[in-house]
Copies of this chain bind each other. A is one copy, B any other.
Amino acid sequence: MSKSLIIINPNSSTTVTDGIDAAIEPLRSFGVPIKSLTLAAGPKGIESQRQADLTIAPMLTLAAAQADAAGYVIACFGDPGLHALRDQTDLPVVGIQEAAVMTALSLGQRFGVIAILPASIPRHLRSFGAMGVLDRLAGDRALGLGVADLASADKSLSAMIATGKALRDTDGADVLIMGCAGMAQYRQLIEDATELPVVEPCQAAAAMALGHIALRQSHRKTKNAV
């Protein structure tokens, strides 16, 4: 049986998982099976570093249980447990934030990030600093919607477009990153409205992971790390 790319959604929302699975549909033609899993132990949504960190233990367990894994994608923008899972396995492990940034850097000179909540911006900045890519960051802006409005597809899309335009016009972004998993259905609409390339992070991560799998390309696991 062929091994699969395992995508783990570390929140417990199957709606998000379904959205991720739809997002990566165009990559199924590459011939490697892709499975999208939901972390039942995760929170409904990940809105703080604390929530993100608390998904790591169950995510590592879920990952370890996938006997047919050819590689992993951790599908939360924030990449919780990315390096912990790399300590646990020498299969390819891709974080959607890291992959989105690396993809965006090949599509424009300065990337803008559409964040859902303002509180996630300091977390993003810590990550971009750890990645060493702050010279390429145009800006990171939140939608400015309350929880109720986020439930509305129309309001979310409008806010994403408005945020993308602010990143483009005020901050000078020439490529955008959607700072959240599970919203790939808006990618084309934001591209059309902003006339900028838009990176959907789960797509970027799955594409990168499939490349790693085909090329037998992976990190080196720290010896005796587990």
Contacts and interface: CB of A to CB of B under 8 A. Distances in A.
A60 B50 contact: yes
A125 B108 CA distance: 11
Interface of A is mostly: helix
A129 B27 CA distance: 32
Contact of A106 (B47, B208, B210): B208
B94 A106 contact: yes
Interface in A193-226: 195-197, 199-200, 203-204, 207-208, 210-212, 214-220, 222-226
A106 B208 CA distance: 9
Given A30-B30, A50-B87, A207-B211, A217 B103 contact: yes
A210 B214 CA distance: 12
A196 B134 CA distance: 23
A108 B92 CA distance: 12
A174 B57 contact: no
Contacts of A136: 131-132
A62 B84 CA distance: 22
A162 interface: no
26 contacts: A29-B31, A29-B214, A30-B31, A47-B222, A47-B224, A50-B85, A50-B87, A54-B56, A102-B103, A102-B106, A105-B132, A106-B208, A107-B218, A108-B219, A109-B121, A109-B125, A110-B122, A110-B125, A126-B130, A132-B134, A175-B219, A195-B220, A197-B220, A204-B215, A207-B214, A208-B208
Given A102-B105, A107-B219, A129-B132, 17 more contacts: A27-B215, A30-B31, A49-B86, A50-B60, A50-B226, A51-B87, A53-B57, A54-B56, A103-B211, A109-B121, A109-B125, A110-B125, A121-B172, A122-B174, A132-B133, A132-B136, A207-B207
